[in-house]
Amino acid sequence: MLQGWIQIALTLVIVIGTTPLLGRYIAQVFMGEQTLLEPIINPLERIIYVLSGVRHQQNMTGWQYTQALLYSNLFMGILVYLILMFQGWLPLNPTGLSAPNWDLALHTTISFVTNTNQQHYTGETTWSYASQTFALGFLMFTSAGTGITVSIAFIRGLTGRQLGNFYSDLIRSITQILLPISIIGGLLLLLAGVPETLARPATITTLEGATQVIARGPVAHYEIIKELGENGGGFFAVNSAHPFENPNGFSNLLEQWAMMAIPTSLIYTYGIFMNNRKQAWLVFWMVLIIFLFLVGITAVGEFGGNPLVNSLLGGEQPNLEGKEVRFGWAQTALWAVMTTATMCGAVNGMHDSLMPPGGFVTLFNMFLQIIWGGQGTGTAYLFIYLILTVFLTGLMVGRTPEFLGRKIEKKEIVLASIILLVHPFAILIPWAIVFAFPNTLSGISNPGFHGVSQVIYEYASAAANNGSGLEGLNDHTLWWNLSTSISILAGRYIPIMALLLLADSMSGKKPVPITTGTLRTDTKLFTAVTAGVILILGALTFLPALVLGPVAEAFQLVAGN
């Protein structure tokens, strides 16, 4: 047990230690300051600007920024959909795979263009090397970059700056952040044993004399951006539990760091933009404390094991069902919390086999979306909670709320409410429809409380742009492909539009002088109140779903049923 807790602690120490370094670098990139990579990257960016004709120095309004984002995502989505549907005629298809059903290709395209990467397919038997590399791998960079640009535009607006230029921000996020780290990380994964090849699957003869076909492909470069960009869609069906995606402890540590690196660092980046690193660290520690509590719940549940199994064995044994022995209970539990906290969605074990505490935590993370949240957008959602806390505390004392020296008025509260209300609607409405027609729509493999979790998890994963799933669900159907696509689109673009419009509104406000009556937001008391608001709103909104799913399942196990 001690070894497992030490592994968890060391992983988190590394993540915390790199947070200010990467956070400062990201701030330098988007504040136009000199960085070590600029002599190498600047010529490449100039070529891109010339070829694309982008007026990268032209600032955009909130609506212009939104339009640029939507149009570019639509264009990339159409391009990728065509690649997927015509993969049978394209090169780099050594096994001769044909096009999938139109609804699966549509769901996959929507899922990857929105940074969700929800998989209703088996990667190695559905997509060619060309589809995985030039379609899905391409979107892993652009979707992650889109999330980063939204977060940067949002904080610019909150601090009274102009929002910037979407195309310029997108190019910077890819060329100066995602691409350099991916190159280094991909090389390290190659050294760790992750393959990177265009050779066809290997055919071998086993010790028993049988013939076995082993899938392989250009995995290393795909794997690192999968984690770094909070994408989560695996090259193989079992994702990072596959030895070709995640062969050993070193690769597991590297991928966990990549998963956490940007979401944690962006909070520090916000502090630099605000010129208030104290508030950034207070918010960081608030989220970290909640995160550690959730890791503890999950780890204790997995270490304690299944009481029904333990009663047969005559003692407590860790729950190793659905886990890789090379990672064990501790690293699988930590990964499960990380991947749902960061909205990455990659897995190194099957979440369907988690004990009820782990199921509760993974759902809770996707319901809140701010521990640590999606690529860029999660940190923006976190500051929405700060704005709501300022508003609520302002109501208590009868004072017009202010945040970062600017008044919070009706328009900002309406937009903030939209951001938070879209999420439960995108989850709970389709969840209710499924259970209204369980025989025709559900596809659940467990008729009990775990079956409730399977359905709510799928829609929470879609709306939160997470992508992981409880794999007992039969989700490769027309209903699931289309209904989750709607949840994905609503969960991605409606909040983004509201975030950008809110930032635009804040950027146009004149700063209010600080007085003795101004509510300071960089104090421990305000941070604690914010934590309370986050937990209360999250618990009240989704409490029935949690009670009917993992909580009821836990009581059922304890009762021995």
Confidence grade of residue 133 (pLDDT, cut at 50, 70, 90): very high
Rounded distance, CA 515 to CA 139, Å?
47
Q: How many domains does the structure of the chain reveal?
A: 1
Please give the Cα distance from 372 to 340 (Å, whole number).
Answer: 9
What average pLDDT score do residues 287-312 get? 90
What pLDDT, on the 0 to 100 scale, is given for residue 552? 93
Identify the residue with better confidence: 396 or 392: 392
CA atoms of 461 and 465, how far apart (whole Å): 6
Q: In the prediction, which pLDDT does 516 show? A: 67
The pLDDT value recorded for residue 499 is 95
**pLDDT at position 1, please?**
63
- Closest of 234, 260, 452, 238 to residue 359, by C-alpha: 452
pTM recorded for the entire structure: 0.94
Yes or no: say if 512 and 407 are a contact pair by the CB < 8 Å rule.
yes
Looking at every residue in the chain, the average pLDDT score rounds to 90
Pairing of strands 202-205, 406-407: unpaired
For residue 153, pLDDT over 90 is answered with yes
Average pLDDT of the residues in 406-428: 91
Backbone angles phi, psi at 130, to 5 degrees: -65, -45
% pLDDT > 90, the chain:
65
Which DSSP state fits 202?
Answer: E
Calpha distance 203→200 (Å, rounded)? 9
Q: What are phi and psi of 147, to 5 degrees?
A: -60, -40
Token digits of residue 293: 């509590």
Which residues, including other chains, have CB under 8 Å from residue 19's CB and lie 6 or more apart? 264, 265, 267, 268, 284
Distance CA 450, CA 557 (A): 11
Q: What is the mean pLDDT of residues 13-41?
A: 91
- Residue 105 and residue 100: Cα distance in Å, rounded? 6
What string of H, E and C letters represents the secondary structure of 346-402? Answer: CCCECHHHCCHHHHHHHHHHHHHCCCCCCCCHHHHHHHHHHHHHHHHHHHHHCCCCE
Tell me the C-alpha distance between 200 and 95, whole Å: 7
**Residue 429 neighbours by CB under 8 Å, 6+ apart:** none
| 464 DSSP assignment | T
Inter-residue contact 393 to 399 (CB < 8 Å):
no
pLDDT at 510 over 80: yes
The CA-atom distances, in angstroms, between 424 and each of 268, 380, 418, 462, 542 are 29, 18, 11, 12, 8
Q: For tokens 């025989």, what's the residue?
A: 439
Phi-psi region of 477 (alpha: psi -120 to 50; beta: other; left: phi over 0): beta
* CA–CA gap between residue 502 and residue 382 (Å, rounded): 14
| Percent share of the chain, pLDDT over 70 | 98
Per-residue exposure over 260-280, b if at least 16 CB sit within 10 Å of its own CB, e if not: bbbbbbbbbbbbbbbebbebb
CA dihedral over 195, 200, 201, 204, signed as positive or negative:
negative
Q: Quick one: tokens of 132?
A: 């995985």
In terms of DSSP bridges, do strands 211-214 and 202-205 run parallel, antiparallel, or are they unpaired?
A: antiparallel
**For residue range 67-111, what is the model confidence (pLDDT) as tens digits?**
999 999 999 999 999 999 999 999 999 989 999 999 999 999 999
Question: What distance, in Å, lies between the first and last C-alpha atoms of the chain?
Answer: 28
How many CB atoms are located within 10 Å of the residue 554 CB? 18
CB 110 within 8 A of CB 493: no
Q: Is residue 25 very low, low, confident or very high in pLDDT (cuts 50, 70, 90)?
A: very high
* Cβ proximity of 150 and 376 under 8 Å: yes
How large is the average pLDDT for residues 351-380? 91
- What was the pLDDT predicted at 561? 61
Residue 398 has pLDDT above 90, yes or no: no
3-state secondary structure 237-286: CCHHHCCCCCCCHHHHHHHHHHHHHHHHHHHHHHHHHHCCHHHHHHHHHH
Mean pLDDT of 403-416: 87
- Secondary structure (3-state) at 212: strand
Q: Model confidence over 302-330: pLDDT tens digits?
A: 998 888 887 777 777 888 888 999 999 99
- Residues 511-561 pLDDT 10s: 877 766 677 888 898 899 999 999 888 778 898 899 999 999 999 888 876
- Residues 424-445, mean pLDDT to the nearest whole number: 85
Give the list of residues 6+ apart from residue 104 with CB closer than 8 angstroms, or none.
120, 121, 126, 476, 481
With residues binned 3-state (H G I as helix, E B as strand, rest as coil), the percentages for the chain, rounded to 5, are 70, 5, 30
> What six digits make up the tokens of 555?
């009581």
DSSP tag of 518: P
Domain limits for position 453:
1-559
Neighbours of 416 (CB within 10 A): 22
In sequence order, what are the residues at sequence separation of 6 or more whose Cβ sits closer than 8 angstroms to the Cβ of residue 224?
181, 182, 185, 186, 189, 255, 258
Residue with more model confidence, 473 or 287 = 287
